[in-house]
Amino acid sequence: MCASAVGDTIGHFTMRRIITRRLPILFLVVDLLLGPAIAAAPQVDVTYGPLPVFELHSGFWINLHHRLYEEARQRRNADSPGTPKSGKTGKPTLQIAPDSKIVLSSSEQHAWENAISYYAANYVNKDLLFNTELLLLKNQLGDFETCDELSGGKKKSCDAGLPANLTQILEGAAPVYRAHRWPADDRANRAWIKRVAPLVREQGVGLSHRLADIYQTRWPAEKIRVDVSAVANAAGAYTTLDPLRVTIASTDPRNQGASALEVLFHEASHGIAEPVEQAIARECRQRDKPIPRDLWHALIFYTTGEVIKPVMEEEADAPENSAAQNGAKAGSSSSIGAGEGNSRYPQDSEYTPYAKREGLYQRGWENYLSLLTRYWQPYLNGRTTFDDAIAHMVSAL
Ligand SMILES: [Zn+2]
């Protein structure tokens, strides 16, 4: 979502340009990382299908990667002088143990500490979204989700082609994670997927067509891969391009319930909304105005929210869903996802879009919200053209 980066969002499209400019270097890195073997096909039990539009994964390595990254960041934050020791990110904790009763053996402790140290030394100051090395590593770990190793020692097709020391670190941490944390993380991911899947099945195609029409582009022909991970980045979700892949944190309170569908489509919109960014830039150049760097992002937040809203309200008002809500408390689901439990819908049928609920417009986007309401909403209502809407917004900047 990039929600926490409202003030300093560079934008995913900028990343695409950086990558394009650095193509020779990128190919070199890709070559190093990919090695000879490309991805095994995902197993049925890690891909929840068949769904339209998205393919949703709960993959072991990608979850381990994000856990290690998060724990290394938490320790860095806790260690940095001037950081308050209280609060969410300030406490040094052994995140491998979801409750304090789990005690690691000394060899487990050693393997885990090695992995955290490696992440602290190599990745902790790099951004999951904007750093090419982390982007490629994440994609590669996703591709090898069906492998129980990364070195190809047991199975040649499971040689992920990662640097030898990284392979060793991850393979060392894997049994620890698999024994103590992965089962709960995987359950949380599957619970999240299970809750959102019916909505994707019912509404996915219609929403994808609507958004592609709005952005005057085509929705990707292939299903968009979504890696559901217990934790992701600070924003709770992020999207990388070329190839377009979404990562969503299943335990992030911002991504629960009715918001799950909006998070999916907001993130996917990062892959298709380039015409908006280009149009804004073009209009700004024509008027000799500086290009507002977050307007396109505010616009995709606004648009996804407005497109999702009637769908969610209709869903919430459907009699079968009201009945399901009433019966939900009698259910015996073992869902462990954070958020509001098992209900797919809030009690109130009025849907509040993500950006409004999370207060994004109050963090420096107030002006954007009024521009969007005034000039972009008429386009969404079919009362003006795409070009006119963008031109009016830019003139009013
Ligand atoms: Zn975003």
Q: What is the pLDDT of residue 315?
A: 83
Tell how far the Cα of 216 is from the centroid of ligand 1, in angstroms: 19
The dihedrals phi and psi of 37, each to the nearest 5 degrees, come to: -95, 130
Q: Mean pLDDT across the stretch 76-104?
A: 60
Q: What is the pLDDT of residue 103?
A: 83
Which pair of structure tokens corresponds to residue 101?
Answer: 């009763």
Tell how far the Cα of 92 is from the centroid of ligand 1, in angstroms: 29
Q: Mean pLDDT across the stretch 262-289?
A: 96
Round to whole Å and give the CA distance between 109 and 87. 25
Tell how far the Cα of 262 is from the centroid of ligand 1, in angstroms: 11
Tell how far the Cα of 72 is from the centroid of ligand 1, in angstroms: 24
Q: What is the pLDDT of residue 320?
A: 66
Tell how far the Cα of 263 is from the centroid of ligand 1, in angstroms: 9
Tell how far the Cα of 277 is from the centroid of ligand 1, in angstroms: 13
Q: Give the tens place of pLDDT for each residue, 126-178.
A: 999 999 999 999 999 999 999 999 999 999 999 999 999 999 999 999 999 99
Residue 300, classed as helix, strand or coil, is: helix
Tell how far the Cα of 268 is from the centroid of ligand 1, in angstroms: 9
Tell how far the Cα of 370 is from the centroid of ligand 1, in angstroms: 19
Residue among 288, 232, 276 at smallest CA distance from 70? 232
Residue among 387, 307, 321 at smallest CA distance from 354? 307
Round to whole Å and give the CA distance between 256 and 315. 16
Residue among 128, 121, 178, 125 at smallest CA distance from 148? 178
| CB-based neighbours (< 5 A) of ligand 1, an ion | 1-2
Tell how far the Cα of 146 is from the centroid of ligand 1, in angstroms: 29
Q: Mean pLDDT across the stretch 291-302?
A: 94
Tell how far the Cα of 128 is from the centroid of ligand 1, in angstroms: 14
Tell how far the Cα of 11 is from the centroid of ligand 1, in angstroms: 8
Q: What is the pLDDT of residue 384?
A: 97
CB atoms inside a 10 Å sphere around CB 341 = 14
Please name the residue that has the structure tokens 């505010």. Answer: 298
Tell how far the Cα of 297 is from the centroid of ligand 1, in angstroms: 6
Please state which of the ranges 95-104, 276-285, 334-343 shows the lowest mean pLDDT: 334-343
> Which residues have a Cβ under 8 Å from the Cβ of 149 and sit 6 or more positions away?
155, 158, 171
Q: Mean pLDDT across the stretch 169-192?
A: 96
Please name the residue that has the structure tokens 């996804």. Answer: 304
pTM of the model as a whole: 0.81
pLDDT class for 328, splitting at 50, 70, 90? very low
